[in-house]
Chains A and B, each alone.
Chain A
């Protein structure tokens, strides 16, 4: 009856049993990470950790067994994702593949593509990057200029530049969104997705871009007459737009959209422990209420995914609220604790505060900006 009701989360005993196993595993596997390292959250890159998750059957969890998956529910997968994020475990070597590239392959890939790649993702052995944004195609993704041209022998010749490609320098594969016919003026028409082997393809140059903290996680990926084999096409030629929208729905649907700053919240509670301050109680109570509510909504999105429903609008709401929640955190922490933020401080609170403060601007950019998300929500409300 509500305009935009969120389905209630499904309580599952299997999921709670699994939670205990994941916590026990993380208590050990993640023990050595400092609070500052934990705060890096989904930027932490560690292939060995991803392999360890794969060995336990915690990647590709919902996929069919014949492709290396484990045929478990979206709720069980959700538990693994939220527990690893809340623990600040290094997820970057698997999470793009597990979250969106794998599901895109599963849905649109050929039998051979699925057999070749999905088991490797599920084993934690295969790193993917996202080839969507370009210098002139950010929010306006349909303005993509990169193009792949079919050669006489059926192979593809790719030219163009992808930008902000997270972990492009480590990736084994990219899912490239580009034009396969027409011109940028054709917008959604004539676009396709292609699978790029980042290790075996010549004519692909990856250049680092450092973020404002001086860290290197994203890149510029330049294609110059790069030749991809005929079977690099992912899905249907010309259907790139519909496919990439499906991929984005997966990209936006998870709990990482409100859990990436949780380390700061934990440090804040540590710094305020035992405080009788009414302001501190009110602020922490409010943040806790927001977090529990976001988690309920996000588990509702998992219920939509499990039921095979389109999660686009609900995911946009959770991501928008989640980004706002996370971006408020540094200032709330600053208002309650009298400590100078400093990345090199020996105080965990000060270091994590500094990190989160500088990471925060990206929260409402990556994966679709705040304005784009609000446009999606407004469309669902019938306003556009």
Chain B
């Protein structure tokens, strides 16, 4: 990461977390607030961030681009920002102009475009998983029952340890696929399938534990937890469901047979 990209990350994080805070979990944003928010996002150039520099993008490497996508996952906002970033990249690569406003359906995608979108979802999940881990740690430290913080109960500690393990594993799988993207072709496809299989499972387990440890308040619309858990439940099945991706991986492993198994693990 060079200085320019870290400045981009910091300012994106600042703006998006500010906008995310304004999404009161229970109340829709007023129209003027909405328009103003998207204007700020555009001013920062975020919708065009994944385009090539020649087309007016930010000139990010793949690794940096997906880091930016992770930041988007950390801050749930009421616009399809990541989808717009992807749509503008695909459009300008095909010689078209970027879109005027937010875009929520990408239309027909080539296989390679679908893979990139699927990986973007994985990195969004990686970002959101961090948030629910942090939210849950704070909650169990702040909330007391039976005269002590929930964090002091061993059953609670162990649930959080499992949550942290799932988050770490999901993130590792997504990061692995970003690192493998440069290899292109079947290797990249396989790594994306692995990422989606693993992080999808992490989302299920992590969201369940986060809700359990938050108690009823986490199930209330006014609490922010559901902004993240419902996003995870959606993202894990978009641009190919978790099941679809998992089967792609399995089909390949089964076709290669037992002797090819370990070399496939070390080569993946």
- Chain B binder among A53-61, A202-210, A261-269: A261-269
- Size category of the A interface is 35 or more
Q: How far is A274 from B253 in the complex, measured between Cα atoms in Å?
A: 10
Q: Known contacts A6-B168, A383-B140; is A296 also within 8 Å of B246 by CB? A: no
Whether A285 pairs with B247 at a CB distance below 8 angstroms is yes
Question: How far is A163 from B226 in the complex, measured between Cα atoms in Å?
Answer: 49
The distance from the CB of A133 to the nearest CB of chain B, in whole angstroms, is 22
Please give, as numbers and ranges, the residues of chain B lying within 8 Å of A272 by CB-CB distance: 254
Contact segment of B83-91, B97-105, B170-178: B170-178
What residues of chain A lie closer than 8 Å to B246, measured between beta carbons?
Answer: 281-282, 285-286, 289
Contact, CB under 8 Å: B197 / A383: no
Which of B140, B161, B169, B249 is within 8 Å of A297, CB to CB?
B169
Asked whether A289 lies within 8 Å of B249 as measured between CB atoms, the reply is yes
B169 touches A293 (CB 8 A): yes
- Of residues 142 through 174 on chain B, the ones whose CB sits less than 8 Å from some CB of chain A are 151-152, 154, 156-158, 160-162, 164-165, 167-169, 171-173
Which residues of chain A are within 8 angstroms of B265 by Cβ–Cβ distance? Answer: 86, 288, 291-292, 295
Shortest CB-to-CB span from B213 to chain A, Å, is 11
Cβ B175 vs Cβ A8 within 8 A = yes
Query: Please, which residue of chain B has its CB at the minimum distance from the CB of A267?
Result: B258
Q: Please give the distance in Å from A335's CB to the nearest CB on chain B.
A: 14
* Most chain A beta-carbon neighbours within 10 Å: one of B141, B169, B173, B248: B169
CB proximity of B12 to chain A, nearest CB, Å: 13
B248: chain A residues within 8 A (beta carbon): 285
**Residues of B contacting A280 in the complex (Cβ-Cβ under 8 angstroms):** 250, 254
Stretch at the interface among A94-102, A214-222, A223-231, A371-379: A371-379
1/0 per residue A176-193: CB within 8 Å of B? 000000000000000000
B-side interface mostly: helix
Give the residues in chain A near B198, CB-CB below 8 Å. 289-290, 293
State the CA gap A375–B171 with chains docked (Å): 22
Kindly list chain A residues whose C-beta atoms are within 8 Å of the C-beta of B175: 8, 296
Identify B160's interface contact among A267, A285, A286, A383, CB under 8 A. A383
Against A, the Cβ 8 Å flags (1 = close, 0 = not) of B225-268 are: 00000000000000000010111111101110110011011101
Contact with B164, one of A4, A87, A292, A296 (Cβ below 8 angstroms): A4
Q: Tell me the complex Cα distance, A293–B152, Å.
A: 31
Q: Which chain A positions have C-beta within 8 A of B245?
A: 285
Question: In the complex, which range does the number of interface residues on chain B fall in?
Answer: 35 or more
Asked whether, in the complex, the Cβ of B157 is within 8 Å of the Cβ of A374, the reply is yes
Bound form: Cα–Cα A375–B151 in Å = 12
User: In whole Å, how far is A41's beta carbon from the nearest beta carbon of chain B?
Assistant: 13
Task: Report whether A293 and B194 are in contact in the complex, using a CB–CB cutoff of 8 Å.
Answer: yes
Q: Are B130 and A317 in contact (CB under 8 A)?
A: no
Chain A residue nearest in CB terms to B13: A1
B254 and A284 contacting across the interface, CB-CB below 8 Å: yes
Q: Within 8 Å CB of B168, what residues of A?
A: 2, 4-6, 297, 317
Determine if B193 is an interface residue (Cβ-Cβ < 8 Å): yes
Query: Which residue on chain B has the smallest CB distance to residue A19?
Result: B266
CB distance from B157 to the nearest CB of A (A): 4
Cβ B161 vs Cβ A265 within 8 A: no
Q: Would you give the 0/1 interface string for A93-133, flagging 1 where the beta carbon is closer than 8 Å to chain B?
A: 00000000000000000000000000000000000000000
User: Which residues of chain B (164-214) have a CB below 8 Å from chain A?
Assistant: 164-165, 167-169, 171-173, 175-176, 179, 193-195, 197-198, 201
User: 17 new A-B pairs (CB below 8 Å) besides A4-B167, A288-B194, A293-B172?
Assistant: A2-B168, A5-B168, A8-B179, A262-B262, A267-B258, A273-B254, A281-B251, A284-B253, A285-B193, A285-B247, A288-B197, A288-B265, A290-B169, A292-B176, A293-B198, A383-B157, A384-B152
Give the interface of B toward A (CB within 8 A).
130, 133-134, 137, 140-141, 151-152, 154, 156-158, 160-162, 164-165, 167-169, 171-173, 175-176, 179, 193-195, 197-198, 201, 243, 245-251, 253-255, 257-258, 261-262, 264-266, 268
Q: Which 8 A-B pairs have the closest CB atoms?
A: A285-B250, A281-B250, A285-B249, A378-B157, A289-B197, A374-B161, A377-B161, A284-B250
